[in-house]
Structure 1
Amino acid sequence: MKAGECSLEVHISVYTLDVPEDGGPINSSYYNANNNLKVITHGWISSDKTEWLQNIRDNYLQTHDYNVITVDWSEIAANPSYVWPALSTRYVGKRVAKLLDSIKKTYNVTGRNMHLIGHSLGAQVMGYAGMFSEQPISRVTGLDPARPLFEFPYMPSSCRLEKSDAEFVDIIHTCGGVYGYRMSHGHADFYPNGGRPAQPGCDGPRPMIQGCSHGKACEYYGESIVANRFTAYPCDSYKNFQEGKCKNGSTKMGDPASPESRGDYYLHTEDSQENEQNDENCN
């Protein structure tokens, strides 16, 4: 299957939009040019119907006056061979960039009103969308961006999500060194519970633990929209953070992250704190 033969749909609320092939105007009576735009997409073997994506969309619509678009590239992402969807993220990102450019032309809005959010391979899609957009994009959020074929083997910055793709790039690491980025590539990189598997609540055989941990970034982000409780601290290592050496300069992880945040940030989620307390009680 050739990239040009694959379809790409986007959904605004429950209304389907087609991406203009020629960069022409968007035809929608539901887009409010006075509201900021959130664009969300999924990763490998997934779709925009996946639960975490629907939760993020619904949390935004229930708590804010935003335009929310979900990008469905499941026709490509469903390929069981990881290599093809991974290589196709560039193509999908270009199509998303065309959509953003059409929105700009139709509603006279700028990239400063646009926030792109993607999980795993979807984070790479959004990085390409920011890179190919005709206008600087305000923010790209990578939810445990896919590592294989992007960070391992190590690819040039033009071939993976990194800080030049938007004015503010924030990354949440939850399966670092396995499915997700191990190193820091954003303006602000957040490492809940150290950023590696196993994340709290992820049990079972190693593949299950790693898959669960990979998805925790989406869960944390969705919760951050409605419960502003993920306080993170700048630190040079998780070890120093655990030893209580980093207690100043806090910021929030997730949706409320400050665009002024720079560097690596660490935190414990409440689940991990409860687990640590339970461990202490068992000693």
Structure 2
Amino acid sequence: MEALWMKDMQNLMVEEDPTQTVIRCDWKQGAAWHISILQTAATTQSVGEWLGDVAKKIKVKKPGIKIHGVGHSLGAHLLGKAGRSSGVFSRITGLDPAGPDFEEPDGARDKMLSKSDAEFVDVIHTNGYDEGFWPNFYPVNHFGTLIPLGDVDFYPNYGTEQPGCSGIGGSHSRVLDYYNYTIKHPGVLTTNQVLDGTPGYEKPVKKTKRGRPAEMGYYCKRGYNGLYYISLAPEQIPLKYK
């Protein structure tokens, strides 16, 4: 069954702007973590190249079209590859881009989403580190990454554990609630708090200072840059995609 968040996102986007075309790419068979983190990380590159070819064909038929890709977890890096190989994406949004096998010092950092993959890249981090939770099934304590990857990166609750969520999987999926919520609520998730430092692999920054306002989510726009913090409580945005 196709992911509910993707269907919801498509419906919300079309409701906001009926003139746009939304294409879903569901590759859950290749993205399943239980197969092998190494294998799924490698698959992002082959599927990403295929998607880049599709994007180029669309651009040839409609030269003036603006292509915006939104990807969650491994899907964010897949879109990075699509953007690098095609050169036609106006914007790429990474929703808690995957960390394991990519972010480690000896990992595949060159295959991660990068701000050079599109004209504008915005990223939301929700599960880059969880110092108090070590699962039995996975040899990691987070599914996302703290490493800045975009022109602008947002770190709700410092990009670590998300309040109200159960374990690392809940925090990793919480970004889907945040992003879909912004489609119908422009301006609500705007912040002028920036991180006072740069997060790294398993090194969160939990200090902030005041900066220029920036809006997280669907209405994020070109011109924003920096590392932003926003405090979000469970009661502000319903938990749906657990």
Range into which the TM-score falls when normalised by the shorter chain: 0.7 to 0.9
CA RMSD of aligned residues (A): 2.1
Alignment of 1:101-112 (within 5 A): 101-110=56-65
Paired with 1:184 and 1:172, the residues of 2 have a C-alpha distance of 9
Higher relative contact order (CA 8 A, sep 6+): 2
Aligned counterpart in structure 2 of residue 189 of structure 1, from 126, 139, 153: 153
Note if contact 1:230-1:254 (Cα within 8 Å) is conserved in structure 2.
yes
SS at match of 2:83: helix
Between Structure 1 and Structure 2, the one with more helix by share is 1
Query: Which of residues 58, 61, 67 in structure 2 aligns to 1:114?
Result: 67
Q: Which residue of the other structure, out of 190, 200, 211, is the alignment partner of 1:231? A: 190
1:118, CA displacement in angstroms? 0.3
Shift of 1:136: 3.7
**Over alpha carbons, which structure has the higher Rg?**
1
What is the Cα deviation at residue 214 of structure 1?
0.2
Pairwise CA distance, 1:239: 3.7
Structure 1 pair 188–104 and aligned structure 2 pair: CA distance change class (3 A): same
Q: How does 1:1-283 map to 2 (within 5 A)?
A: 49-65=2-18, 66-78=20-32, 80-110=35-65, 113-133=66-86, 135-155=87-107, 158-177=110-129, 178-197=142-161, 199-203=162-166, 209-228=167-186, 229-237=188-196, 239-241=206-208, 245-246=209-210, 248-271=211-234
Structure 2: how far apart are the matches of 1:264 and 1:272?
Answer: 24
Determine the structure 1 residue equivalent to 2:135.
none
**Percentage of identical aligned residues:** 36
- Give the aligned length: 214
- Shift in CA distance, 217/273, structure 1 to aligned 2, threshold 3 Å: closer
1:87-128 C-alpha deviation (Å, 9 max, x unpaired): 110000000001001111223335xx0101100000010000
Q: Does structure 2 conserve the Cα–Cα contact (< 8 Å) formed by 1:234 and 1:263?
A: no
Any gaps of 5 or more consecutive residues in structure 1?
A: 1-46, 204-208, 275-283
